[in-house]
Structure 1
Amino acid sequence: MKYIIASTAVTDEIHFVDGKRTEIVAGGAGVYALCGVKLWSDDVMLVTGVGTDFSGIYGEWYKNNNISMDGLIEKDDKTPHTVIQYFEDGEREETPRYGAEHYKKIETVPEDLKPYFASAKGIYIFKNSDPFFWRKIIKYKEDFDSKVMWEIGCDATYPENYENIKKIAKHIDIFSINLTESKHMMGTEDIEEIIKEYQSFQIPLVFLRRGAEGAIMITPDEAIIVPSQKNIKVVDPTGGGNSSSGAVLYGFCEGYSPLICGKMGSISAAMCISQYGVPDRITSEMRLEAMRNVER
């Protein structure tokens, strides 16, 4: 597979501010990032731990979308189940129903990814700043040519951890983070200051996500503002950042400009936030329409 997604595949139970809730939808950063790439390419696979019950719950979705399940590793009887609570300010809290230890047991570890570095064009990793994890990933990356995107987990974006994050990020190709996390991590509200700081990383691309306002594509030499897709009815905002990150990874590895990569990210995000959970089916017609949107 050209594109490998390394993150969780879980069941999401989503509680919205207005009292609405979903009971069972496919979720997890990995599944949304998978969809973000799938809109542009069939050559993508998720590599993560799951429960033995996963095929029974989600196998039909994988089959309908012609997505390989070869990268799914059974690590427990149960697939993680996450309760997501949204708040008035747009922030959210995620609670693993089976506990933190079960969730950690299921997560992707570097050894799960090692076989793919020799052949993959791009690898998406959603992870905190665990130094033991990244030490191995950086070593694999040095040995092979795969491009790596790091979408950082919000639990790592605190001020005292910033220098450690910067040290890791300098070894990867694309760093994906949202603006709220950046402000908290850097201790500033000044977007220009944030952009300059990311440019000091001296990495090919920082994908600074701004939710409904779109994103800023930051290279060492420039910062390009990319708007979000217009006239989109947001049904469920879950996974918008992950899906856009997956699309940006794809665009970057295929040689598109930062502007085009950002547009692809906005289009994938719009697809994923237009219904509860992930789309039932990502079709060739949707891909053609997505390419037309980029050209417009």
Structure 2
Amino acid sequence: MTQPRYDVIAIGNAIVDVIAPVTHDFLVAEELPAGSMRLIDDERAVDLYAKMGQATEISGGAAANTLAGATMLGLKTAFIGQVADDQLGEIYRHDLTAVGVDFDTPARAGDPHTGRCLVLVDPDGERTMNTSLGASQFLPAEAIDDELIGSTRVLFLEGYLWDPAEPREAMKRAIKVARAAGVQVAFATCADFCVHMHGKDFRAMIDDGLIDILFVNEEEAGILEGSDPDAAFESLAKDVPLVVMTRGADGAIAARGNERAKVSPEPVAQVKDLTGAGDLFAAGFLSGYCRDASLEESLVRGAVAAGEVISHWGARPEADLQAMVAKRLG
């Protein structure tokens, strides 16, 4: 059997993260609940950006963060997402391809601008995310290359991108192509508001057998199944071939059929920024899954990658993940 060209191809928002520290008082004054994630319009994005103070700009987006980590862990990856034909779009493409992720989706001419996420990090390391989707919400179905989708082992889909109609149709088409080509479909619910808004769609995809790997945190699982997280996990495990549920300070668990595995979080000297923790956990897990590692090893890889990214600002790893994983696995 011919080996796929790619290990993981992901479809997601092309977003530049603008990260800045803020006080609890700032969040209260701006009426932003700590840890919340919301979509904002261009006017609010400009207003909030002006109030943030000194910031760090890093190319991000949940699926792209996952690909960056997976690539650093040795996987061959590609990204499908929409940037604008502007300076931020050029920066975004350069940042992603410099890591080793293939990204050939043509830029979109005209307005709106390349998307951005204003990430406000409080003294507890909790991030409050305010996203202006910009061009990313106009990814067309025509951007889906059937041959490209068929050339990967795993197609990874970002739940955030399910909200805008155009990229939702693009992902539906990609799923159809993937199923026909025997490609595994992985789906990350990404945030509680995504599940509140589109839980019925997510559940329908599960019921229709369209999702092979589900990445979810315990809150999202509870919302999706309408129960406590433990019961939700077991319910999902009956209907999805592989479920991975992160549990914050309690680590993560995975289920594949009757098989169960769990992992504790990696020790971190100081949590500086939780941005990207779930994205990098998925990266680490996939780095094991795509190399036919056990559930236990895949979870450990996820924990190591997540632990590294929360130890510094930004959602992209700064240390040698492969060396960290090798040391942890002994």
Aligned to 2:213, which of 147, 153, 174? Answer: 174
CA contact (8 A) 1:48 1:108 kept: no
Paired residues, number: 285
Say which SS state the counterpart of residue 141 (structure 1) adopts: helix
What is the aligned partner in structure 2 of residue 267 from structure 1?
A: 304
1:83 aligns with 2:118: yes
Deviations 1:230-272 (Å, cap 9, x if unpaired)?
1343221111111211222232222111111111111121222
What is the aligned partner in structure 2 of residue 13 from structure 1?
A: 18
Kindly provide the amino acid, as one letter, of the partner of residue 84 in structure 1.
V
1:40 aligns with 2:77: no
What is the aligned partner in structure 2 of residue 71 from structure 1?
A: 104
What is the aligned partner in structure 2 of residue 104 from structure 1?
A: 137
> CA separation in 2, counterparts of 1:197 and 1:239?
26
Say which SS state the counterpart of residue 265 (structure 1) adopts: helix
Q: Displacement of 1:178 after TM fit?
A: 1.0
Aligned CA distance change for structure 1 residues 132 and 36 (closer, same or farther; 3 Å): same
More divergent stretch after superposition (132-141 vs 219-228): 132-141
Specify every segment of 5 or more residues in structure 2 that has no aligned partner in the other structure, as ranges. 27-52
> CA separation in 1, counterparts of 2:203 and 2:130?
26
> CA separation in 2, counterparts of 1:93 and 1:209?
19
> CA separation in 2, counterparts of 1:22 and 1:113?
36
What is the aligned partner in structure 1 of residue 324 from structure 2?
A: 289
CA contact (8 A) 1:240 1:273 kept: yes
| Identity fraction in percent | 18
1:250 aligns with 2:287: yes
Deviations 1:2-34 (Å, cap 9, x if unpaired)?
121221232112354536863422221133111
Aligned CA distance change for structure 1 residues 85 and 187 (closer, same or farther; 3 Å): farther
Aligned to 1:200, which of 232, 235, 238? Answer: 238
> CA separation in 1, counterparts of 2:249 and 2:190?
20
Kindly provide the amino acid, as one letter, of the partner of residue 36 in structure 1.
G
TM-score by length of 1: 0.82
Q: Displacement of 1:46 after TM fit?
A: 2.0
Kindly provide the amino acid, as one letter, of the partner of residue 214 in structure 1.
G
TM-score by length of 2: 0.74
Kindly provide the amino acid, as one letter, of the partner of residue 232 in structure 2.
I
Say which SS state the counterpart of residue 275 (structure 1) adopts: coil
Say which SS state the counterpart of residue 216 (structure 2) adopts: strand
Aligned CA distance change for structure 1 residues 237 and 91 (closer, same or farther; 3 Å): closer
Say which SS state the counterpart of residue 121 (structure 1) adopts: strand
